[in-house]
Amino acid sequence: MISFSPLIPALLLGIGGMALLMFGVFAKRERATSCTAGALILLVLAAGFTLAAPDGPLFGGLLQTNTFTRYADVLVMLGAAAALILSVDYNRREGIARFEYPILVLFSVLGMIVMISAADLMTLYVGFELQSLALYICAALARDSLRSTEAGLKYFVLGALASGLLVYGISLVYGFAGTTNFASLAGVLAHGAGYGTVIGIVFVLVGLAFKISAAPFHMWTPDVYEGSPSPVTALFGTAPKVATMALLLAVMIGPFGPLLHQWQMLVEILSIVSMALGALAAIGQTSIKRLLAYSSIGHMGYALMGLAAGTVAGIQATLVYMAIYVVMSFGSFACVIAMRRRGQAVETIADLAGLSAEKPGFALALAIFMWAMAGIPPLSGFFGKLYVFSAAVNAGLDTLAVVGVVTSVIGAFYYLRVIKVMYFDAGRPEFDPMAGGVRFVMAVGAIVTCLFVFIPGPLVSAADAAARALMG
């Protein structure tokens, strides 16, 4: 008999999402606010049941739960909950407060936790597609906006390409290895692999690299980040990145772990190119959303350093980095959403001139997030980079660590430029008052980013336990 306790989070999100959909169809008023509140409650409940879920396989090895899946699931739900809180006031002001949005977020999170818990390549693909289809619609949520519609179309077309590459890689791996089960694949590949299997692994890696915006498969990211409504961009920058990075770790270390030396160089290249592009391409950006898009590409490059190391310390470093990145990211996007003047959203860096004089708290919070993303101590971003650099050096990947340090120094320029504009350029921002939800997310993000230096133990210990569970 199947124990259904590990399935409660997925059942809550799936059945709860369908119930909210029926409510939204038949309710007469305040549907968007009620559905958002319901979605937040479901996410909190699902996170609680996730932490209590026992270890073990499900459905004959199609899914599995362990410390690693619980860690990633909770991070995904945290990012999704922050994006929902940020959406309440923004969507209402922009006239896009539709009840479908929180339901789409729930279904995308359901796809993400299926991806993370996958123990078979077929389950992996089902979760991957469920997540992707919901997010395509979210990108085009502002259907009367040309930019949002364009963002949704670009995301759909390039996402479909990524899905095609992924499923082609899966078919090659199955054709040459004879199985799609992770445990069976690890056993088969422990005895070596032919060229066909290695090529299939490369296609799988490339398909997943699209979703985490790793260069050179990043081309959709700046346009989709800029064109999508800002709360949707906050969602893209947090939950899907964590889910896909967790899936990448699980696939490359699990079934493809015996072939580490065959794919390690490819991950190193992805990491180096992503860090370099993120550091250089953001320098000339005038839109803060495009700047954060290129920043996210660079951050994924840093996170990939832990995967390239292929050790317990490397996996732990990546997991710590992703947790820190989620907090920095949703805090930064809370600041972007707070940039409203006379009821209209503004996004250019120049619009921040003189912000410190009018709204010192807002300016301080954004400065904290920029300092943290630049990796300046003693903020959390510094420790995230320290962990991945240490893991790379200990694994003998000195070149990777050197490139990481150099790109961090280059990237610090555009982060510090934002701070310079806020504190030293003259201007009259005249920003509108912030909504309570935006202020809450911004404050929580800033406090956690600052105080991580005093209480790193719980997160580091949780990441270590998750890494050891993944490595077996």
Distance between CA atoms of residues 250 and 258, nearest Å: 13
Instruction: Place 402 in a pLDDT band, splitting at 50, 70 and 90.
Output: very high
Quick one: CA torsion of 37, 43, 45, 47, rounded to 10 degrees? Answer: -150
Instruction: Report whether 153 contacts 220 (CB < 8 A).
Output: no
What is the DSSP secondary-structure string of 306-343? Answer: HHHHTSHHHHHHHHHHHHHHHHHHHHHHHHHHT-EETT
Rounded to the nearest integer, the mean pLDDT of the chain is 92
**What is the average pLDDT across 329-350?**
89
pLDDT at 95 over 90: no
Q: Residue 145's pLDDT is what?
A: 87
pLDDT band per the 50, 70, 90 thresholds, residue 144: confident
Dihedrals phi, psi of 387, to nearest 5 degrees: -65, -45
Q: How confident is the model at residue 342, as a pLDDT?
A: 80
pLDDT band (50, 70, 90) for residue 463? very high
The closest alpha carbon to 278, from 409, 156, 424, 151, belongs to: 409
176 is written with which tokens?
């040459």
pLDDT in the model for residue 191: 87
What is the pLDDT, as a whole number, of residue 288?
93
**% the chain with pLDDT above 70:** 99
The pLDDT of residue 425 is 86
- Band (pLDDT 50/70/90 cuts) for residue 167 is very high
Q: Give the pLDDT confidence score for residue 1 in this predicted structure.
A: 46
Average confidence (pLDDT) over 84-99: 90
Pick the range with the lowest mean pLDDT from 104-118, 202-216, 377-391, 421-435: 421-435
Q: Rounded CA gap, 262 and 439, in Å?
A: 47
pLDDT tens string 22-64: 999 888 777 888 899 999 999 999 999 999 988 888 888 899 9
34 class by beta-carbon count within 10 Å (0-12 exposed, 13-18 middle, 19+ buried): middle
pLDDT of amino acid 2: 54
Taking the C-alpha atoms of residue 440 and residue 422, their distance in angstroms, rounded to an integer, is 21
**Stretch 255-277: mean pLDDT:** 94
Residue with tokens 């997943």, as numbered in its chain: 208
- Kindly state the average pLDDT of the residues 135-156: 91
Cα 135 to Cα 129: distance, rounded to the nearest angstrom: 10
